[in-house]
Amino acid sequence: MKQLSTNDTNFTQAFAAILSQRENNTSSVSEQVREILTEIRHKGDTALFAYTQQFDKVAISETTLRVKDTEILDAWNSLSSSLREALILAAQRIESFHKTQIPENIKYTDQAGVLLGMKWLPLDAVGLYVPGGKAAYPSSVLMNAIPAKVAGVKRMAMCVPTPAGQLNPLVLAAAKQAGVTEIYRVGGAQAIGAMAYGTKSIAPVDRIVGPGNAYVAEAKRQVFGYVGIDSIAGPSEVVIIADAQNSPQHIAMDLLAQAEHDEMAQSILMTDDESFAKQVIEEVYKTLIDLPRAAIAKTSWENHGAVIIVKNWQEALELVNQIAPEHLELMVEHPKTLFEGVRHAGSVFMGHLCPEAIGDYVAGPNHVLPTNRTARFASGLSVFDFLKRTTFMETSANSLRRIGPAGVTLAEAEGLHAHAASIALRLKDLDPLP
């Protein structure tokens, strides 16, 4: 863990080091992934089943590839009622928030008499990737599937690897709650290839979303353009701006909640109170010991954690806007005022009583967020990821007369004479003005 103060003489370099240490690089697996994708594309199911045998040590066939409806139902019934109720509450709240994102179509006739507009339409088919094993999170299933459902996507296909045959019933239960029933037990680059190009057993989709390991990320990068993808997820991160009014224990737990994700996760505390910072650091080490994922959290905190003493919140905001964090907690007295100055962040958690974990599960906004400084240009998953826009226009005789000649001039200037003529011919053939 690094301790910095904006007063340090070498602060700029030390802060830059924190920013640059965690870049994603999947190019080392790119050749292997290219080969897998080519095989899937040309050999379909045969290649898909062979890779699944090779990587997941599972023999699957056309008849066992798809998870049966009874398995999904059994998984749902195997949950405790409190867990079922929690999944239902989370799903309802996620659905409710994402419904507020549904955008309006545009349609109007402008002053020149041209009808103009833009129509939002859902994608036909979406592929949801869910990692297997320890990182198989039911909350991620909800967060990926529900926005697609709200957008009006008719077909949602899910791929989840079952290493050594194991499949987390919570993942199946979450899929059921989100309305996903087309689930295949395959994963890795081969699953991405199958969803992108289609095989005999898996019909192709139009966009693939969901997190995965380096192979999955590189496969998504390579199929991008043939299908749509969401952003390439990197390690998760949080910045917490906290005043000394917070319980050090609360803030320490928030830092550790981020750190327990994986060894590459990053937790950064910014505070204006040096003794509060010391208390939090003490609490982190004290609490760490008892966590089931203590080893992961400790590695993350020691390698990537940071505590930065700032002179004031304005200074903190400037640093935040350079980091563009995935998660930002504003644990201060007037979080809304501070929020006004945030230019780049995936999601913001305001006030002493709103830890980031609330947003991971039950608040409603999406927890699939831009990592690794990409909040500079990217956004969390949303209904917009499952919609697309079609623009449209109609010119009348009069409006063509008003705007057509400028079109002819520009087309001629670009040397595109058929473009120009397609407008000019129609202008010529119009009846003379009355």
Please identify every residue annotated as catalytic. 326-327
Taking each helix axis from N to C end, the angle separating 214-223 and 188-197, rounded to the nearest 10 degrees, works out to: 20
Whole-angstrom Cα Rg for the chain: 26
Using CB under 8 A as the binding rule, the residues of this chain from 243 to 302 that contact a second copy are 247, 249-250, 253-254, 256-257, 259-261, 287, 291-293, 297
Q: Which one-letter DSSP state was computed for residue 431?
A: P
Whether residue 272 is annotated as binding a ligand: the answer is no
Return the residue of 2, 34, 243, 273 that touches a second copy, per CB under 8 A.
Answer: 34
Q: How far is the CB of 138 from a second copy (least distance, A)?
A: 7
C-beta closer to a second copy: residue 52 or 236: 236
Return the residue of 170, 192, 216, 319 that touches a second copy, per CB under 8 A.
Answer: 170
C-beta closer to a second copy: residue 305 or 359: 359
Return the residue of 121, 166, 333, 334 that touches a second copy, per CB under 8 A.
Answer: 121
Return the residue of 40, 58, 75, 90 that touches a second copy, per CB under 8 A.
Answer: 90
First to last CA, the chain: 80
Core vs surface per residue 395-430: b (16+ CB within 10 A) or e: beeebbbeebeebbeebeeeeeeeebeebbeeeeee
Cβ atoms 331, 276 nearer than 8 A: no
Give me 418's structure tokens.
């058929």
Residue 236 binds to a second copy (criterion: CB under 8 A):
no
CB atoms within 10 A of CB 89: 12
- Taking CB under 8 A as the binding criterion, the range among 54-62, 64-72, 156-164, 424-432 that sits at the site for a second copy is 424-432
C-beta closer to a second copy: residue 48 or 348: 348
Whether residue 54 is annotated as binding a ligand: the answer is no
Whether residue 334 is annotated as binding a ligand: the answer is no
Return the residue of 225, 312, 433, 434 that touches a second copy, per CB under 8 A.
Answer: 225
Please report which residue ranges of 100-234 form alpha helices under DSSP H: 138-151, 169-178, 188-197, 214-223
Residue 17 binds to a second copy (criterion: CB under 8 A):
no
Nearby residues of 125 by Cβ (< 8 Å), 6 or more positions away: 153, 154, 155, 156, 157, 203, 204, 205, 206
Residue 332: strand pairing partners: none
Using CB under 8 A as the binding rule, the residues of this chain from 334 to 393 that contact a second copy are 335-336, 339, 342-366, 370, 372, 374-380, 382, 384, 388-393
Residue 411 binds to a second copy (criterion: CB under 8 A):
yes
Q: How far is the CB of 186 from a second copy (least distance, A)?
A: 22
